Chain A
Amino acid sequence: MRQFLIKRTWHALLTLFVMSTVMFFMFRLLPGDPTATVISPALYPKAQEALKAQFGLDKPLFEQYLIYLRNLVLLDFGISFHTLRPVAGEIGNRLINTLVLILPSMIVAYAIGAFVGAMVAWKRGSKLEGALVLIATALQSTPVFWLGMLAILFFSIRLDLFPVGHIVSPGMFPEANLQMYLSLDFLHHLALPFMVNVAYQFCFPFLLMRSTMLSTIGEDYIELARMKGVPEKRILYHHAMRNSMLPLATTLPMILGWAVAGSVVIETVFSWPGLGLLMVEAVGRSDYPVVQAAFLLIAVLTVAGTLFADVLYGILDPRITYQ
């Protein structure tokens, strides 16, 4: 087990290393010049030089790369081209904002999706099953930002139940702090994006759980459990659902990855000041230290999700041997 963990962690780190390297060279070698917006070509060459030196852009590429790597390890993401303040300071809150939106809604969506999927499969052939499969597929086929817009249109504009976006009412909390995250105002703002994300993320676990359950129900060990006189409820939970969770666990990293990556979209619709929105804004302003930092943090979340799912799978399936 320990070796398995070490190996997987090592893979995760390797993945992150490769990604940050790719990021670095992408920004410097691809055609667009991200520094163009900050360092106006109209400036005197001298002034341009000075600015470049300030951001460390005057050194040879490889040296820049080493500095970049060192800084990453030190969690020093450089200075924002836009605000001219250290990126690290700006990004912490954004990370929390993303997590408070994405994590709880994922957990809820997964729990509901898996449970409902298992139930309709267990009582297979019901009208409800057909309807839910259609609805889930349609939801899965819907761009989530559009779903968000419809939700705003209906719940916020028509019914006036929820605010139209943002994380708290303007001016309420000048500083993001624990008090803010515990306030009713925050929850009020959270409700709509939360529900939209749950509705969207519900589909995949629902559909997957249903189809896995349908094949699990035909397994010999379910028949044996029934022959043993095990009560139906226990067969459902202890055998059928328990075993059907395995494929769900294997796909979890992918889903977590999508969810975090999808935060870009949902945060944009709801003007939710998380990492995703930050990244979109920063790309728009060519603020590449911020883009890099936001991207890498999102990547860390995705990779951590993969790692977590691997370990979970190992725990759920005793047939996995940790070599």
Chain B
Amino acid sequence: MTNQDQKSILSIENLDVDYRVDRQNVAALRDIELSISKGARVGLVGESGCGKSTLLKTIMGVLPGNAEIRTGKVALNGSDLLSMDTEERRKTRWADISMITQSALNALNPVHKIGAQIVEAIQAHSNQTTIQARAHAAKLFEMVGVPPGRLDDYPHQFSGGMRQRAVIAMALALQPEVILADEPTTALDVIVQDQIFERLFELQDQQGFALVLVTHDLALVVESCETMVVMYAGVIVEMGPTHQIARSPQHPYSAGLRYAIPDPTADREPISIPGSPPDLSVGTKGCRFAERCPLAIEKCVEQSPELKSTNNEGHKVRCHRSAEMPDHLEQFQHQAFWRNNAS
């Protein structure tokens, strides 16, 4: 075992997940390999529909009824979550891994008081009395910056930002080792977004949980996550230290995402990747990005690439032509290159 494996808290191996839609299977996740170290902050990015939420739901064990985990292992502290029985699984939820969901408004039950919903989470895993649990909830509210006096409010009485804070407080309730955050601030204005992330990162520094942050805001990831994972159409195409990927992406799709953010220091227009994500029906071959990729060659269409380590420590990429990427980086920054070469 290497040093890195020992620090790993959550590790996913060889995970395939399908959705059944009208008797057809959609390959939502393929061959996911991922290891999250204790206390790490990992940014997970990728276009809408690439399977980020599906991955988090698989980890939490709340996939919808039409989803099927075909193969794979999701291990938390070495024990496989997928092979646990229902009661064991229930106990690990929230206590070990919690989640901050995409939409705080819909995630809170409108007919119960917010405080009661936090108390419920606490009491599902401990014998605390309601009074103790409430005192704890009040502390959590203070931590996230909501006056504890508002524990007895209903969700509709909170502003969007406060709701999101309440959901964060809930996620912290049992001091889990991993928190998954699925676009925790969409639908909030930018200033509130910044405040919330600032608070979330502060709390992470204090408490030391690992944070997996799903977001469309690549700039935020570059700024604040040490590791990043890039997903495309259900597979991980590149992952590794953020600064490396940001400086020199080895996958054309990562490069596309990277140069899609405006850079005030460089004198160039942000690009946008032409085309749209592929059909995820089971049974397609080749690299899933091939049809939008300016570097695609015959081989890319024929044969799916493996996720390979690069020369850099902890950096992996899934591309037949990754070795040539450094030579093309300059070209990738121009929209014309994308448009002319996409097959």
Contact = CB atoms under 8 A, between A and B. Distances in A.
Asked if A and B form a direct contact in the complex, defined as CB atoms under 8 angstroms apart, the reply is yes
Interface of A: 218-221, 223-232, 234, 238-239, 242-243, 246, 316-319
B110 interface: yes
A221 B109 CA distance: 5
Contacts of A317: 110-111
Contacts of A226: 61-62, 93
A243 B99 contact: no
Contact of B111 (A218, A234, A316): A316
B111 A228 contact: no
Q: Is the interface of A mostly helix, strand, loop or mixed?
A: helix
B332 to A, nearest CB: 38
Interface residues of B, number: 29
B120 interface: yes
Given A221-B107, A226-B93, 20 more contacts: A218-B64, A219-B106, A220-B101, A220-B106, A221-B109, A223-B62, A223-B107, A224-B101, A224-B107, A226-B62, A227-B60, A228-B121, A229-B93, A229-B121, A229-B124, A238-B120, A242-B111, A243-B109, A243-B111, A318-B111
Interface string B71-115: 000000000000000100011111100110101001111111000
A216 to B, nearest CB: 10
Contacts of B156: 318-319
B93 A227 contact: yes
Contacts of A231: 90, 124
A222 to B, nearest CB: 8
Residue from A225, A226, A228, A231 whose CB has the most chain B CB atoms within 10 Å: A228
A18 B151 CA distance: 46
Contacts of B95: 229
B74 to A, nearest CB: 14
B125 interface: yes
A227 B99 contact: yes
A318 B109 CA distance: 11
B91 A229 contact: yes
A243 B110 contact: yes
B130 to A, nearest CB: 14
B90 A227 contact: no
A196 B94 CA distance: 48
Contacts of B101: 220, 223-224
Nearest to B57: A223
11 contacts: A219-B106, A220-B103, A221-B107, A221-B110, A224-B101, A224-B107, A229-B90, A234-B124, A243-B109, A318-B111, A319-B111
Given A318-B154, A319-B154, A230 B110 contact: no
Contacts of B120: 225, 228, 230, 234, 238
Contacts of B121: 228-230
Contacts of A229: 90-95, 121, 124-125
Given A230-B120, A231-B124, A220 B107 contact: yes
Interface in B110-145: 110-112, 120-121, 124-125
A69 B94 CA distance: 65
A232 B89 CA distance: 12
A61 to B, nearest CB: 52
